Amino acid sequence: MNDLKSQASRTAVPGKPGGLNAEIQSRIGHQLRAMYDDVVRQGVPDRFAELIKKLDAQGGAPQDNANGGSNDNNGRD
């Protein structure tokens, strides 16, 4: 990553301090896509999917514990 910084400072666009040229922007884009592709492939954890289903079943309206709502977190905060 330090190589990218030093190369960026040498190849910055004139008149734009700290600007990145197209090659460096492309490299960063490829690295970000590779990193986030792994995250996307992991999918949604079952726990999150269950929470989303519960929220959808409630109509998306938040419930207040004082008004009869439950804090069903199975002892976890």
Percentage of residues of the chain with pLDDT beyond 70: 55
Its pTM stands at 0.38
Higher-confidence residue of 50 and 73: namely 50
Domain ranges of the chain: 2-60
State how far the Cα of 68 lies from the Cα of 30, in Å rounded to an integer.
Answer: 49
Is 57 within 8 Å of 33 (Cβ atoms)? no
State how far the Cα of 32 lies from the Cα of 47, in Å rounded to an integer.
Answer: 26
